[in-house]
Amino acid sequence: MQNLTFGSELLRQSMAGTDAMASCLTHMSVIPSRTATFAEWPEWVPPELTTAFIDSGIDEPWTHQVSAADLAYHGNHVALCTGTASGKSMAYQLPILTTLSKDPNSTALYLSPTKALGADQIRSVSSLLAGHREFTHLQPCAYDGDTDVEIRQWARAHSRWIFTNPDMLHIGILSGHARWRHFFRHLRYIVIDECHHYRGVFGSNTALVLRRLLRIARSAGGNPVVIGTSATMAEPAEALTRLIGEPATAVTEDGSPRGERTVALWEPDFLPAVTGENGAPVRRSAGSESARLLADFVVEGARTLCFQRSRRGVELTARQARHLLSQTAPELVDRVAAYRAGYLADDRRRLEQAISGGDLIGVATTNALELGVDISGLDAVIVGGYPGTVASFWQQAGRAGRQRTSGDSLVVLVARDDPLDTYLVHHPEALLGRPVEATVTDPTNPYIVTPHLLCAAAELPLQDSEIEAWGAVDAVAGLAADGMLKRRKAGWYVAPGVEPHADIDIRGGIGGQVLIVDTTTSQLLGTVDSGRAMSTVHPGALHIHQGESYVVDELDLTDGLALAHPEEPDWTTSARETTDVTITDVVARRRCGPLTVALVTVDVTHQVVGYLRTLLSGEVLDAVELDMPPQTLSTRAVMYTLTPEALEEAGVAAGRFPGALHAAEHAAIGLLPLVASCDRWDIGGLSTNQHPDTGLPTVFVYDGYMGGAGFADRGFAAFETWIAATRDAVASCRCESGCPSCVQSPKCGNGNDPLDKDGAITVLTLLSRQYSSDD
């Protein structure tokens, strides 16, 4: 065991009197503290700005702040990648505030992936400038979905620094850019905060929105410099260059001080005498375990954020922690709350203030608080389930220990009952010793680039040189053939009547949002992406809002409405879907004897056919059938086929093929996030004894987004590592014949039946052997 640290002490005290430390703690390590290195204030910074920083408690800048600020001030796009709480905000505030105060027309644009982060950054700039009258004319202002119409008008006319997000930039600013002409003409800086967040479909869409932004600004006469920041960005210069389509310089040498951070990996115990689907053993859920730790840390007076993967998980964790406290320390019940996206704006602001001010000691949250929100004084972070990427894990960890005095902190990763989490808590080096993953984006995906071409042409005539630079020659030809784009002398224009902006949901959803309404009060409870509505707010689904439970009575996809009533059942629901896959093209293929591995394009047809009701203990109550319309997705998949002879020779008899392949597929989906920066819910899979397109036992793992998002491509490229880790995860699981930690999937359309754990180990071993023997 390690020397006593702040973190190990907190854990020990919280667990005193239980044997949880011995049975659940799988690893503990300490990241040592570090002292600061300072630099002189740059000579171009006006003295009144230096004074403002000094008044706010910043006496001297750290070295990386000056390096990045200097590069940007002198006209270079910069990717600043230094640790969490390393003061990246000041690195862009220095050149921006200097330029805005020296040039009375100049403007700046700040982009963040979440509204919470944007609000936090405005608060930070406003408090920096408060009391310094020479800066009052800068008027930093939010312009996002929460901003009132009058304030929007005011912001367009007066603000010199607009804080927004890529969604609003796309739909509310670029679409009507003529009204912003003055702003764009004088645009000098664009900040892209938390760059690593722009990955997958969202990243590809944002990359295209940024290309549109740069062309509009330049055509208006502006020449902005881009400053990209992230604490967890692989190859920062290349990543920013990919995002904006122009070369950038990286600053990575971190001069900020850091407290000592203790990282603990935690695997909840099996629940005695409880069985799950098909009689499998059940571990105490990551949510319950996180709630217990959260309540214990709160009792110890440790200010704690507890991250949960889902909005529902957040609500349940907060509720459970409050329930535990009501029995042991009732005076603390009201100091614990839930925070997540989907709350209405006022509720969010109120909670953000209560967290910053310390009125709340424990907060269960989704990743809405993961990014950049500067809450100082937090002692501990509980990560309830691996968040899907190493980058997210460190971002969440970095919310604690932001105070300058000691800054010591504790981070606990609580494993969910799933193969990847199980693998990571038993292979700490795969989490703690691994660099953050490169962001996967593909802005040339025809499904993604095509609607942006229409937007770009609607904004300004599109030039052939731009079309080539975007890799979109074929897509433009298709749009021209469909009569959507017309070539004229000045370039390509959209056909009359085409209004493309509203058709893009840059977060990857299809066709907008479904509103969830309480029919007893007509209150709007929140929204859900319509692509996910059938699996989350189907009739009979349990929906939780602010700790209150609702059961959905009706889902109306035409009107985008889910109608629910308040009810407190003792079960939760999870949808069951069926899936069919058809291969439409083979992109790349590798044959290794009886094994063929390929990257293919596919049509995937989904249908929600019912849902399971599960008691809070994990026990399945019943399965309910539903009749929902099918949906088809054209996407990319990594697939493999094996010959029946090879399977039989390896020891899997023909009757066991379905269970063995199905179990191997589930586990492989669970482990794909190890090699592709994706989430288990971004991908899907199908296994079959004999697929009509191959005539062989076949397994597909596909991207859950139209046109693909690059995840299957990663799986194909890193097949060997991916499959070896999957085999290892299944083989090392202590259960007898399959459980959620290895081969069961939380979203299986067939109720996790059939599953053959031993068969899966044989299949995965065979895959690894065949693949490597081909070298």
Ligand X SMILES: Nc1ncnc2c1ncn2[C@@H]1O[C@H](COP(=O)(O)OP(=O)(O)OP(=O)(O)O)[C@@H](O)[C@H]1O
Residues that bind ligand X (CB under 6 A): 58, 61-62, 84-90, 231, 372, 374, 376, 398, 402, 404
Distance in Å, CB of 674 to ligand X, minimum:
24
- In terms of Cα–Cα distance, which of 579, 585, 687 is closest to 631? 579
C-alpha to C-alpha distance for 483 and 502, rounded to whole angstroms: 19
Q: CA angle, corner 130, sides to 183 and 68, nearest 5? A: 60
C-alpha to C-alpha distance for 508 and 200, rounded to whole angstroms: 9
Residue whose CB is less far from ligand X, 278 or 376: 376
Distance in Å, CB of 142 to ligand X, minimum:
17
CA 343 → CA 178, 227, 263, distances in Å? 33, 30, 31
Distance in Å, CB of 393 to ligand X, minimum:
13
Q: Which residues contact 534 (CB under 8 A, 6 or more apart)?
A: 555, 557, 575, 608, 628, 631
- In terms of Cα–Cα distance, which of 467, 407, 81, 572 is closest to 245? 467
Distance in Å, CB of 56 to ligand X, minimum:
7
Beta bridge partners of 575: 611
Residue whose CB is less far from ligand X, 89 or 367: 89
Residue whose CB is less far from ligand X, 89 or 288: 89
Q: Which helix (H) or strand (E) holds 141?
A: strand 141-142
Quick count: other Cβ atoms within 10 Å of Cβ 31? Answer: 18
Beta bridge partners of 519: none
53 alpha carbon, distance to own chain's centre: 33
Residue whose CB is less far from ligand X, 291 or 411: 411
C-alpha to C-alpha distance for 295 and 325, rounded to whole angstroms: 6
DSSP state of 462: B
Distance in Å, CB of 603 to ligand X, minimum:
41
Distance in Å, CB of 682 to ligand X, minimum:
24
Distance in Å, CB of 84 to ligand X, minimum:
4
Residue whose CB is less far from ligand X, 117 or 338: 117
Asked if 460 and 216 count as a contact pair (C-beta separation under 8 A), the reply is yes
Residue whose CB is less far from ligand X, 372 or 658: 372
Pairing of strands 362-365, 336-339: parallel
Asked if 597 and 716 count as a contact pair (C-beta separation under 8 A), the reply is yes
Max CA-CA distance within the chain? Answer: 81
C-alpha to C-alpha distance for 517 and 538, rounded to whole angstroms: 13
Distance in Å, CB of 438 to ligand X, minimum:
18
Q: Is 484 helix (H, G, I), strand (E, B) or coil?
A: coil
Token pair 């295209």 is found at 208
Q: Which residue is nearest to ligand X (CB)?
A: 87
Distance in Å, CB of 243 to ligand X, minimum:
17
Distance in Å, CB of 376 to ligand X, minimum:
6
Residue whose CB is less far from ligand X, 199 or 656: 199
C-alpha to C-alpha distance for 644 and 690, rounded to whole angstroms: 9
- Side chain identity at 274, as an amino acid letter? V
- Side chain identity at 750, as an amino acid letter? N
Distance in Å, CB of 80 to ligand X, minimum:
8
Residue whose CB is less far from ligand X, 113 or 715: 113
Residue whose CB is less far from ligand X, 166 or 684: 166
CA 27 → CA 8, 225, 411, distances in Å? 11, 44, 12
Residue whose CB is less far from ligand X, 96 or 675: 96
Residue whose CB is less far from ligand X, 97 or 564: 97
